[in-house]
Amino acid sequence: MAIEQDEIEKIAELARIRVDAAQAADLTRRLGDILAMVDQLQAADTADVEPMAHPLDATQCLRADRVTEENRREAFQAIAPAVEDGLYLVPKVIE
């Protein structure tokens, strides 16, 4: 897949990016190189390759799922300006 300089200029205009003619020529060449590399990668035969979530056989060390802090709800609500039925009451800010 090739990209032309007029396409670079159009994309720059849509993205509101100022690109002068010298930059557009350089961008055209560099993006062309990137697209050529993508085409080369797409040509690789991956028919016998099993999909995987991660390239390394790593396992995540997880901590035990247990409560480590005490319930301090009453202490926090005791200093709140307004509480009702265990909920914090706040002033209405949107009408």
CA neighbor of 80 nearest in space, from 90, 92, 70, 94: 90
The answer to whether position 56 is within a domain reads: no
The answer to whether position 12 is within a domain reads: yes
Range of the domain at 26: 5-42
* Strand duo 83-84 + 87-88: pairing: antiparallel
Q: What is the CATH number of the domain that holds 31?
A: 1.10.20
Alpha-carbon distances, residue 28 vs 13, 23, 24, 38, 63 (angstroms): 15, 8, 6, 15, 50
pLDDT tens figures, 23-78: 888 999 999 999 999 999 999 998 998 888 877 877 788 989 999 999 999 999 99
Spatial distance between the Cα atoms of 33 and 39, rounded to a whole number of angstroms: 10
pLDDT beyond 90 at 2: no
The answer to whether position 67 is within a domain reads: no
The answer to whether position 33 is within a domain reads: yes
Q: How many CA atoms lie within 13 A of 48 on its CB side?
A: 0
* Count: domains in the chain: 1
The answer to whether position 66 is within a domain reads: no
What pTM, to 2 d.p., does this model score?
Answer: 0.48
pLDDT tens figures, 73-89: 999 999 999 999 999 99
The answer to whether position 19 is within a domain reads: yes
